[in-house]
């Protein structure tokens, strides 16, 4: 069956499993019954299970078939995410009454997982070349130009500085050399 025909059959019947190969259907079924991706691929008969599992999980038709199966199981069991969370909260309350902090922490951890609190966060760091250029310009200015700039800028932060004389630096270097630093 061609890919276009598979898409047409899926669109007509609403069942994305129809457009899959036998191996892909077995893979989906094994995943829905709790197997890991690699074990599901092995159950489906793929020779290089780990590689095939990763490849299969990237396919939109596999993702759609998984969502379809999950919705089907939810409907059959009348189980929703809210019901699962309510049950976890009830179990946490029972553990609290029994003074069992280990079970309470375990319950809260599961709720955190369900809510996605432990998912990896993607951080974007924007490095601005303009800041580097500004620093380079400031470093190129003479002391007189820097002082003039500071005097003219109303947002300058006041501060104090101490000038280290070359002679003082030479003494410090000599002291460090004596103690081996």
pTM of the full structure: 0.46
| pLDDT value of residue 91 | 93
Structure tokens at 119: 């998912």
Contacts of 9 (CB under 8 A, 6+ apart): 1, 18, 19
DSSP 62-98: HHHHHHHHHHHHHHHHT--HHHHHHHHHHHHHHHHHT
Could you give the CA distance from residue 59 to residue 106 in angstroms, rounded to a whole number? 34
pLDDT digits (tens, 9 = 90+) for 21-79: 999 999 999 998 889 999 999 999 999 999 999 999 999 999 999 999 888 888 888 87
pLDDT digits (tens, 9 = 90+) for 152-169: 775 655 656 556 556 666
Domain parsing of the chain, residue ranges: 3-77, 81-115, 129-178
Give the pLDDT band of residue 8 (cuts 50, 70, 90): very low
> Burial of 28 by CB count in 10 Å (0-12 exposed, 13-18 middle, 19+ buried)?
buried
pLDDT digits (tens, 9 = 90+) for 72-131: 888 888 878 888 889 999 999 999 999 999 999 999 998 888 888 877 777 766 656 777
DSSP annotation of 18: G
| pLDDT value of residue 106 | 92
């Amino acid at each position: 069956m061609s890919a276009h025909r598979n898409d047409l059959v899926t669109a007509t019947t609403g069942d994305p499993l129809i457009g899959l190969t036998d191996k892909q259907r077995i893979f989906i079924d094994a995943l829905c019954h709790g197997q890991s991706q690699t074990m599901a691929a092995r159950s489906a008969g793929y020779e290089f299970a780990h590689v095939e599992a990763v490849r299969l999980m990237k396919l939109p038709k596999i993702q759609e078939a998984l969502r379809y199966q999950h919705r089907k199981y939810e409907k059959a069991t009348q189980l929703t995410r809210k019901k699962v969370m309510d049950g976890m909260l009830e179990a946490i309350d029972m553990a609290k009454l029994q003074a069992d902090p280990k079970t309470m922490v375990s319950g809260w951890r599961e709720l955190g997982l369900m809510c996605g609190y432990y998912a990896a966060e993607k951080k974007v760091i924007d490095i601005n070349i303009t800041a580097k250029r500004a620093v380079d310009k400031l470093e190129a200015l003479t002391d007189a130009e820097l002082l003039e700039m500071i005097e003219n800028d109303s947002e300058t932060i006041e501060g104090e500085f101490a000038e280290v004389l070359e002679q003082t630096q030479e003494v410090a270097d000599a002291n460090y050399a004596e103690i081996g630093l």
